[in-house]
Amino acid sequence: MAPLSRRAFAGSAVTLAALLAGCSTEGSSTGAEPAAGGNGGGGSGDGPVTVDHAFGSTELPGTIEVVTTVAWANHEVPLALGVVPAGMAAATFGDDDTDGVLPWVTARLEELGAEPPVLFDESDGIDFEGVADTAPDVILAAYSGLTQEDYDTLTEIAPTIPFPEVAWGTSWRDMITANAAGMGRADEGAALVTELEGVIEEAVSKHPAIAGRSVMFLTHVDASDLSTVNFYTAHDTRTMFFEDLGMTIAQSVQDASAETEEFSSSVSAERADLFDDVEIIVTYGDEALVAALEADPLLSQMPAVKNGAVVHLPGDSPLGTAANPTPLAIPYILEEYLVELERAATASA
């Protein structure tokens, strides 16, 4: 990663730490130091807490000592609040050094003086045995695609916090809110949201060219088969994040999203003109993918493609994860993402 991003992250992390130290839940069993064994959830001890979610509700014990997380990025909430989870999912996307830990997570662990937790291999689904071996008091999965069966199995291990409404459709704010509540640290979660909103606002103010731009996010595109336009709907956190950045989810995407509750959808490439209102396209891929879009007789007619206003995020570097906002990634990688969006905005002008 660029040195500037690391410096920006370090400064934001100090601010976060100071803020959260001042509003820590009274009676919390841990502060910024991980407890013995590398864990330490620090429930408030004020009695049971109930968290509502897509599968019903979960009642949590008054004191939580061991936190375990599954699925993408949920571990960043306890880490941001100074708690090292007993186990978490290994990163398989954007992991440039293939150690299973993204750089902003490594940086936070170093700040806390902690070693990486147990890493679960979720390439074939949740590692239930691995989760059970960590003996958690709570399992956090507010941003996930858990099935009812997954949830039922996890709850046999420990109380579990799944997504609030839509699989893989939890905004970064709701992920923090639900996971923090699951740790008995709702107030600290609210403070973290407020701090990150300030980080975003300050970063966006330096890139006025993207303001109000109409944008959509294509899902992982197969350059060998461009017969379908696959895109993330307005229910997906990557798309929702555009509004945090002062941009506009294209009306065409909003209209298509109204017809489904899923986080992604698709239309035939023959109907690509539906997205003529899109000024900027964001997707995963490389220059070869952009060249394929520009060479395609149908997709090349989309204004964003025609104008060269395509942001392609590489899957083999941390920048590839920038569009998916998470508590530790936002202050670390957002600036680089905004630079790419600004480039596309300039091209679409």
Q: Could you read off the pLDDT of 283-317 as tens digits, one per residue? A: 999 999 999 999 999 999 999 999 999 999 998 88
Whether residue 14 is predicted with pLDDT greater than 50 in this model: the reply is: no
Per-residue pLDDT band for 97 (boundaries 50, 70, 90) equals: confident
Half-sphere exposure for 216 (CA within 13 Å, toward CB): 31
Closest CA to 89 of 54, 49, 118, 60: 118
Q: By CB neighbour count within 10 A (0-12 exposed, 13-18 middle, 19+ buried), where does 209 fall?
A: middle
pLDDT digits (tens, 9 = 90+) for 42-55: 554 456 789 999 99
Percentage above 70 pLDDT, the chain: 87
DSSP 8-state class, residue 235 = T
**Residue range 99-156, pLDDT digits in tens:** 899 999 999 999 999 999 999 999 999 999 999 999 999 999 999 999 999 999 999 9
Predicted TM-score of the model (pTM)? 0.86
Burial of 167 (0-12, 13-18, 19+ CB in 10 A): middle
